[in-house]
Chains A and B, each alone.
Chain A
Amino acid sequence: MALKYALYPGCAAKGATPELFQSTMAVIGRLGIEVTELTASSCCGAGVVGEADPDGALALSARTFAQAERLGLDIMTICGTCQGVMGGANRKLKSDPALLTRVNRLLQSEGLTYRGTIQVKHLLWIVVREVGLEKLKDEVQVTLGDLKIAPFYGCYILRPSGDLGFDDPEHPNSLDKVIRAVGAEPVDYGGKIKCCGFPIILEKEDIALAMNGANLKEAKDGGADAMVTPCPLCHMSLDIYQERAGRKVGANLNLPVLHLPQMLGLAMGVPAEDLGLQRHLVPVDSIVRAVEERKMERGKEKSRS
């Protein structure tokens, strides 16, 4: 039986990281996930709208929850930041009836009400807990064996853990487990739970690049062939700003950074162009080549047997 969700795309997957949306749609069917896209959903506020306008930011999330509730579906997010912000908003709204009433008043003009019945789950969590790693392993066509992949979790999918409650915030392992399930080896490094610097990259680039560069360099020094992240904002920082971050920390990084569904797609044998890999600023050729070589080896083995 298919797992059904209301897909909340968020801004980045419909904007500067369209490859995230493309690769998500290319892989979820194979994992038995069916989605209805919330095409009339807004930005979650990304924690930024809430800095100026806390109730307005909660109303943005509540409005999306009400849309999913109408469909009778839980929400699937594909962005770590959306997950953190909306997970936190959902906890607040569910635990504070007065707040829920106040926020619902803002939704009235659109005829929406949130009753507090849905859950918000990131694709990563759904893959680990609901699809299951065994099912994922069944779908792996090309094992990414002997590739070392560095997980980069991103802040919002881990902290504050009281709002999220999935991974251990000190030693998370969900993404590590997914890397193992596709046959690759996760790189263990301290930076995997740290901050990519993206929220201040426009106004405090020096600080953000120092953070970003340190994490990338640590992964690279740990032997990483690639990095994978469940957050497109981290991806923008790690990919788009990687060259500048490398200059900042005095390292030639050149580390391909994959979105979570791109890594799944490569292992499932989905063609690189269907995963939008050509859209990255740091070339992903080395990884695509390694996967192609394995596909050919596998083909040869098959014809021999």
Chain B
Amino acid sequence: MRLAFTIQRYNPELDAAPHDETYRLDVTRGMTVLDALLRIKNELDGRLTFRYSCRSAICGSCSMTINGGEKLACRTSVRKEWERHGGITVGPLRNLPVLKDLSVDMGSFWGKVRAVEPWLRDDTRPPDAVPSASRVSRFHNVDACIMCGACVATCTVHEVDKRFLGPAALAKAYRFVADARESGQARTARLASLQGPTGMWDCTRCNFCVEVCPKDVQPMEAIIRLRRESIEAGYDETGGARHVVGFRDLVARFGRLNEVLMPLKVIGLSLRKFLHVLPLGLRMLLKGKVPNPLHSSMDGPERVRALLEQDRR
């Protein structure tokens, strides 16, 4: 069967802007998108630029945007993509600077991974100490990460704020927070360093990273665990931590979330922040969108409190 591949081309030294080019190719059984790109490069256009190495989903080099989603070209079936989307479009990873065609500058990605110091710091155990099986499972799936960058390219926060450390680096940080070989002091320092802007509390939990990860690392789950560990370690003063703790407390008290009290929990005693949300609150009040702050909308909220208190014990 002969199929059309629409590929984004861009050479910053020559082109004013990226443009699409379409190549037609006879596809064979079991062909991957990487196979197709290699055929196009070898037979139709030698200038087409993309990264690849292992061809077996281990090295993470060939991640790119295929039909709107971040995928490894080497493990993406041409036939399945065609059946799912009725066509094949290929572009570079999003939200990273394009070097040429499908190759992006991964410099910021590696910089952020390095910034979380992904190695054992302050190793207080003997060098040959191996974490026990139960401890290893606490790493979640993070050790499976092949650093392909798909999660960062798809991250909706990174899209609007390139300073955000992003899913891959934060997941890597969690892997070391969960490593029993690091001392409590080093662990606390790690958590402390991720509390500020660009850290763990910037994630909106949009689930894109979980969706695209080719290795089921579930970076968002690792970020959630970082947050939980932070709250348990006493880092409960950031807006994000106040949101989580305040939300839980409101559900324990009213059974359902009360949207009037939620902002107050996050704001705390800051007059400046209160004045910032007040105009919206008043407009909502005028539109009948402010629920009674003293009343629960469900029957029997005390049963929910008992349930959550029982669990905390």
Closest to B258 in A: A15
B240 touches A200 (CB 8 A): yes
Q: Residue B131 at the A interface, CB < 8 A?
A: no
A46 touches B204 (CB 8 A): no
Closest to B245 in A: A52
B301 touches A12 (CB 8 A): no
Residues of B within 8 A of A54 (CB): 228
Q: Residue A170 at the B interface, CB < 8 A?
A: yes
B284 touches A106 (CB 8 A): no
A107 touches B307 (CB 8 A): yes
Of residues 4 to 47 in A, which have CB atoms within 8 Å of B's CB atoms?
10-12, 14-18, 39-43, 45-47
Of residues 239 to 269 in B, which have CB atoms within 8 Å of A's CB atoms?
239-240, 242-245, 247-248, 251, 255-259, 262-263, 266-267
Q: Residue B238 at the A interface, CB < 8 A?
A: yes
| A204-B239, A281-B287 as given contacts; A211 in contact with B204, CB under 8 Å | yes
Of residues 255 to 313 in B, which have CB atoms within 8 Å of A's CB atoms?
255-259, 262-263, 266-267, 276-277, 280, 283-284, 287-291, 297-301, 303-304, 306-308, 310-312
Stretch at the interface among A55-63, A123-131, A133-141, A259-267: A55-63
A167 to B298, CA, bound (A): 31
A50 to B259, CA, bound (A): 18
Residues of B within 8 A of A39 (CB): 298-299
Q: Residue A110 at the B interface, CB < 8 A?
A: yes
Q: Residue B227 at the A interface, CB < 8 A?
A: yes
Q: Residue B76 at the A interface, CB < 8 A?
A: no
Of residues 139 to 157 in A, which have CB atoms within 8 Å of B's CB atoms?
155-156
Determine which residue in A63, A84, A109, A155 has the highest number of CB atoms from chain B within 10 A of its CB, and name it.
A155
Q: Residue A168 at the B interface, CB < 8 A?
A: yes
Closest to A12 in B: B259
A211 to B299, CA, bound (A): 36
B204 touches A199 (CB 8 A): yes
A50 to B277, CA, bound (A): 26
Please give the distance in Å from B8's CB to the nearest CB on chain A: 14
Residues of A within 8 A of B289 (CB): 16-18, 240, 279
Residues of B within 8 A of A194 (CB): 156, 159, 206
Determine which residue in A156, A203, A280 has the highest number of CB atoms from chain B within 10 A of its CB, and name it.
A203
A16 touches B259 (CB 8 A): yes
Residues of B within 8 A of A170 (CB): 67-69, 84-85
Please give the distance in Å from A218's CB to the nearest CB on chain B: 12
Name A160's contact: one of B69, B211, B266, B276 (CB within 8 Å).
B211
A56 touches B307 (CB 8 A): yes
* Residues 55-73 of chain A, each 1 if its beta carbon lies under 8 Å from chain B, else 0: 1100110010000000000
A53 touches B248 (CB 8 A): yes
A203 touches B240 (CB 8 A): yes
Name A159's contact: one of B207, B307, B312 (CB within 8 Å).
B207
* Residues 190-216 of chain B, each 1 if its beta carbon lies under 8 Å from chain A, else 0: 000000000001111111101100000
A53 to B312, CA, bound (A): 8
A211 touches B284 (CB 8 A): no
Name B161's contact: one of A42, A155, A198, A207 (CB within 8 Å).
A207
Of residues 206 to 244 in A, which have CB atoms within 8 Å of B's CB atoms?
207-208, 210-211, 214, 240-241, 244
Q: Residue B133 at the A interface, CB < 8 A?
A: no
Q: Residue B224 at the A interface, CB < 8 A?
A: yes
Residues of B within 8 A of A279 (CB): 287-289
Q: Residue A1 at the B interface, CB < 8 A?
A: no
A276 to B86, CA, bound (A): 40
Q: Residue A195 at the B interface, CB < 8 A?
A: yes
Residues of B within 8 A of A272 (CB): none
Q: Residue B157 at the A interface, CB < 8 A?
A: yes
A49 touches B284 (CB 8 A): no
A60 touches B251 (CB 8 A): yes
A15 touches B239 (CB 8 A): no
Residues of B within 8 A of A169 (CB): 69, 211
Residues of A within 8 A of B256 (CB): 10-11, 14-15, 42-43
Determine which residue in A48, A240, A244, A281 has the highest number of CB atoms from chain B within 10 A of its CB, and name it.
A48
Q: Residue B160 at the A interface, CB < 8 A?
A: yes
Please give the distance in Å from A269's CB to the nearest CB on chain B: 24
Name A50's contact: one of B202, B224, B291 (CB within 8 Å).
B224
6 contacts between A and B (CB under 8 A): A15-B257, A15-B258, A63-B307, A107-B307, A170-B68, A205-B276
List 10 extra interface pairs beyond A170-B84, A204-B202, CB under 8 A: A10-B256, A15-B258, A15-B291, A48-B248, A59-B307, A107-B307, A109-B310, A194-B156, A195-B204, A211-B204
User: Hey, which bits of chain A sit against chain B, CB under 8 A?
Assistant: 10-12, 14-18, 39-43, 45-56, 59-60, 63, 84, 106-107, 109-110, 155-156, 158-161, 168-171, 190, 194-195, 197-200, 202-205, 207-208, 210-211, 214, 240-241, 244, 278-281
User: Hey, which bits of chain B sit against chain A, CB under 8 A?
Assistant: 67-69, 84-85, 156-157, 159-161, 164, 201-208, 210-211, 224, 227-228, 231, 238-240, 242-245, 247-248, 251, 255-259, 262-263, 266-267, 276-277, 280, 283-284, 287-291, 297-301, 303-304, 306-308, 310-312
